[in-house]
Chains A and B, each alone.
Chain A
Amino acid sequence: MKFHKNDTAVVVIDPQNVVLSEKGVSWGLVGDSVKGNNTVENLARLFRAAKEQGFGSSSLLTIFTPQTRRGSLEGLSRR
């Protein structure tokens, strides 16, 4: 597989406390695998490697708001 830094972005999705921190509400679901796979450290390695190699980096931020809940997700979950 070939790709070049000039036309490649590293897209990191949801690197947020809610899933990767022991204080996050999802920890009960994913905590064992986060620890078992060393995810936090490995993702940091990926960030560091991308920056050092000059890859563009987009971090994708997820924030659910009350509006989101009422406007879309709650509706989806009811179907």
Chain B
Amino acid sequence: MLEGKEFWRPGPLDLDGFSGSGADWLECYKPFIEDGKTVVVSPHKVWGPQTNDLNIFYRRDDMPTPVETFRHSLSVSSLQPPPSALVACGQGLRQSTMGEGHRSGSNVGTEIAQISVVDIGPGRCRVTAPDRFTGLTGTTWT
């Protein structure tokens, strides 16, 4: 993924060629994301939210129940207070990492559900990761 320059930008403040690039939103999501009400958090540097400002929004907006979707590895234990519920799904490619991240959530009493209809991932990961994740969740939404 690094060699493929996923999400690659020439610089952190350089928007040359941004529109329509790999780092840009899908066109069909722009009406939702760019509606003036949606928070776009700062770019995360690795996989989880530890290196962006997502947790600030949770705490500042008193929003302890993140409903997460699509490809993530959230360390639930880093949230104060711990969320009471977490809805999660993700890319099989990284879902093993994700599952480990959410295991900490189940350890602090967070109820976890997954939304299976947006899962993606390559080959075997696509099959095994959701199954594995299901073992950590109480609910699967399809």
Asked if A14 contacts B117 (CB within 8 A), the reply is no
Asked if A58 contacts B54 (CB within 8 A), the reply is yes
Q: Which residue of A lies closest to B127 (CB)?
A: A33
Query: How far, in whole Å, are A61 and B52 apart by their CA atoms in the complex?
Result: 10
B67 at the interface (CB under 8 A from A): yes
Asked if A63 contacts B84 (CB within 8 A), the reply is no
A contact set with B: CB distance below 8 Å: 1-4, 7-21, 23-26, 29-30, 32-34, 37-40, 42-44, 46-48, 50-51, 55-69, 71-74, 76-77
A2: B residues at CB distance < 8 A:
85
Please report the number of residue pairs spanning A and B whose Cβ atoms sit closer than 8 angstroms. 212
B131 at the interface (CB under 8 A from A): no
Q: Chain B interface secondary structure, helix, strand, loop or mixed?
A: loop
A46: B residues at CB distance < 8 A:
69, 115, 118
B contact set with A: CB distance below 8 Å: 1-2, 4-12, 20-26, 28-29, 32-33, 35, 37-46, 49, 52, 54, 57-58, 61-72, 84-85, 87, 90-93, 111, 113, 115-122, 126, 138-139
Asked if A64 contacts B7 (CB within 8 A), the reply is yes
A13: B residues at CB distance < 8 A:
68-72, 90
Asked if A39 contacts B85 (CB within 8 A), the reply is no
Residue from the list B11, B35, B37, B68 in contact with A66, Cβ < 8 A: B11
B117: A residues at CB distance < 8 A:
37-39, 42
Query: How far, in whole Å, are A42 and B64 apart by their CA atoms in the complex?
Result: 25
Q: Using A8-B66, A62-B43 as known contacts, list a sample of 5 further A-B pairs with CB atoms less than 8 Å apart, ordered by residue number in A.
A: A9-B67, A30-B121, A40-B26, A57-B32, A63-B43
